[in-house]
């Protein structure tokens, strides 16, 4: 069996590291052929050396120029920067599958470039579909390219669906850990600091998604992601809080049976499933053993305490550009919160205000989506300057 060539965008991040573990353990099936990262050159150089890579992209131009000057990468390495650098990696001739695991919406252009080049997509960056799901999925369909979900909930749904026809599926049920602040009162939430929001009880992840999990904006983004990945109507997607993060999501069939996917809260299970799909091989980590008592709880989400989830659902229902506006405002809000410019409840308030201020319409093409993304970001930044959040 020939090996699948893998390109890893976001190689130094949390998904990136877990992907490398899966690739190392399955070197008979998978061959890493290229990596990209944001601005940290040293860890990229270490990965390039370990895997003998010839193609690396470093998004940050300055960091890239410095790495070139210092000879950090061997002469055999073709190093590129900027969005062109990411696109070059996403379309490498040796690549069969491109793992998109960069933060936020940076992954959009390389995802589209990879689809155009006929590469399979292993999608971790949910923001890509929230921003431009309609156009990304249409491009994938037109090109006959599969978009396989790495996000654990969507990977669980994909596994539980197992190719079932649409008319047999009643709904999908996304589980949410509820984050570290599930049991705080609304008043207590006002004082949450960045340091507190950066600690997740179950998952070890990058900064942005960790804050998103604590506000449940992450589940909101995942609602919209699910809509595009599985072609669901908004009312067919339900969220349930499951603090143990063992059941990663479920599918309810029309006959009332509900199927769930379970594993420990580690991304290697979903990543391996996608990279080897449809083949199954022993995993890189111990799975559940059921040797000890394990309680699994399920609660309805509290939309008053977690307005970001409510706003995301409203944006999904409003459709058009509303999900893109939600996503842009959330990215600006999380950055501003981590920068101590706005309070924790200010994240939801800023998203709410931005959604009210930016006119919603149905974008006719990708450029219109990118324009609205930019104007929503500008609006959010202006609101931070002129309001108290
Ligand atoms: P992270 O912050 O740990 O890592 C992000 C990676 O992206 C790093 O390698 C960084 O160098 C790179 N990067 C940042 N800006 C870049 C740019 N402009 N160009 C190229 N690379 C850039 O983030 P993460 O937790 O690994 O999450 C990555 C994506 O996966 C996010 O969209 C997140 O929502 C999604 N996701 C993560 C998890 C998880 O468990 N961590 C689970 C589901 C989905
Ligand atoms: Mg998830």
pLDDT digits (tens, 9 = 90+) for 151-160: 999 999 999 9
At 203, the pLDDT band (50, 70, 90 cuts) reads confident
At 141, the pLDDT band (50, 70, 90 cuts) reads very high
Ligand 1 mean position, distance from CA 100 (Å): 8
CA distance 276 to 264: 19
Identify the three-state secondary structure at position 7.
strand
Ligand 2 mean position, distance from CA 53 (Å): 30
User: How does pLDDT run across 167-190, given as a tens digit for each residue?
Assistant: 999 999 999 999 999 999 999 999
Check pocket membership of 59 for ligand 1, CB cut-off 6 A. Answer: yes
- Specify the CATH number of the domain 154-384: 1.10.1740.10
Cα separation values, 310 from 43, 58, 220, 238, 316, Å: 38, 37, 8, 12, 10
Question: What integer is the mean pLDDT of 42-49?
Answer: 97
Question: What integer is the mean pLDDT of 119-134?
Answer: 96
Ligand 1 mean position, distance from CA 213 (Å): 14
Check pocket membership of 63 for ligand 1, CB cut-off 6 A. Answer: no
Per-residue confidence (pLDDT) for residue 204, from 0 to 100: 87
Q: How many CB atoms lie within 10 A of CB 389?
A: 19
Q: Is the pLDDT of residue 388 over 90?
A: no
Q: What is the percent of the chain where pLDDT is above 90?
A: 96
Cis-peptide into 278, omega within 30 deg: yes
User: How does pLDDT run across 296-309, given as a tens digit for each residue?
Assistant: 999 999 999 999 99
Closest Cα to residue 38, out of 17, 12, 59?
59
Check pocket membership of 38 for ligand 1, CB cut-off 6 A. Answer: yes
What are the residue ranges of CATH 3.40.50.720 in the chain?
4-124
State residue 51 phi and psi, 5-degree precision: -100, 5
Check pocket membership of 108 for ligand 1, CB cut-off 6 A. Answer: no
* H or E stretch covering 368: helix 366-386
State residue 274 phi and psi, 5-degree precision: -70, -45
Check pocket membership of 214 for ligand 1, CB cut-off 6 A. Answer: no
Check pocket membership of 100 for ligand 1, CB cut-off 6 A. Answer: no
Per-residue confidence (pLDDT) for residue 104, from 0 to 100: 85
Check pocket membership of 181 for ligand 1, CB cut-off 6 A. Answer: no
Ligand 1 mean position, distance from CA 33 (Å): 19
* H or E stretch covering 345: helix 344-357
Q: What is the DSSP string of 129-175?
A: HHHHHHHHHHHHHHHT--EEE-SHHHHHHHHHHTT--GGGEEEEEEE
183: Cα within 13 Å, side-chain hemisphere:
2
Residue with token string 């009162």: 185
Candidate from 13, 55, 67 with most ligand 1 atoms within 8 A of CB, to mutate: 13
CA distance 153 to 357: 32
- Specify the CATH number of the domain 4-124: 3.40.50.720
Are β-strands 4-9 and 97-100 bridged in parallel, bridged antiparallel, or unpaired? parallel
Q: What is the pTM of this model?
A: 0.97
Are β-strands 120-123 and 97-100 bridged in parallel, bridged antiparallel, or unpaired? parallel
CA distance 197 to 192: 7
């Amino acid at each position: 069996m020939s090996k699948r060539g893998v390109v890893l965008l976001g190689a130094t991040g949390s998904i990136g590291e877990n992907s490398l573990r899966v690739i190392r353990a399955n070197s008979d099936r998978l061959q890493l052929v290229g990596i990209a990262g944001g601005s940290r050159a040293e860890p990229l150089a270490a990965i390039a050396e370990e895997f003998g890579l010839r193609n690396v992209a470093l998004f940050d131009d300055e960091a890239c120029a410095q790495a070139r000057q210092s000879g950090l990468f061997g002469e055999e390495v073709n190093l590129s920067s900027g969005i062109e650098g990411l696109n070059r990696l996403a379309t490498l001739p040796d690549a069969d599958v491109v793992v998109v695991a960069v933060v936020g919406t940076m992954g959009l252009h390389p995802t589209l470039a990879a689809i155009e080049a006929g590469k399979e997509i292993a999608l971790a960056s949910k923001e890509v579909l929230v921003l431009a799901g309609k156009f990304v999925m249409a491009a994938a369909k037109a090109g006959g390219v599969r978009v396989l979900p790495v996000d654990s909930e969507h990977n669980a749904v994909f596994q539980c669906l197992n190719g079932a026809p649409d008319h047999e599926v009643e709904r999908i049920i996304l589980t949410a850990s509820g984050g570290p602040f599930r049991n705080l009162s609304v008043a207590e939430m006002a004082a949450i600091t960045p340091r507190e929001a950066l600690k997740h009880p179950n998952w070890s992840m990058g900064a942005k998604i960790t804050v998103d999990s604590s506000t449940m904006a992450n589940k909101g983004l995942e609602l919209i992601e699910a809509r595009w990945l599985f072609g669901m109507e908004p009312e067919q997607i339900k969220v349930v809080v499951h603090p143990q993060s063992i059941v990663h999501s479920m599918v309810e069939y029309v006959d009332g049976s509900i199927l769930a996917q379970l594993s420990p809260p580690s991304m290697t299970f979903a990543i391996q499933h996608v990279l080897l799909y449809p083949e199954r091989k022993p995993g890189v980590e111990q799975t559940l053993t059921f040797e000890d008592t394990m309680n699994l709880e399920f609660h309805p989400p509290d939309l008053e305490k977690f307005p970001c989830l409510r706003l995301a659902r409203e944006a999904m229902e409003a459709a058009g550009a509303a999900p893109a506006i939600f996503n842009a405002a959330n990215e600006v809000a999380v950055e501003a919160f981590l920068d101590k410019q706005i309070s924790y409840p200010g994240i939801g308030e800023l998203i709410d205000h931005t959604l009210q201020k930016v006119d919603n319409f149905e974008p006719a093409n990708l450029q219109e989506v990118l324009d609205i993304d930019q104007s929503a970001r500008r609006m959010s930044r202006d609101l931070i300057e002129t309001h108290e959040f």
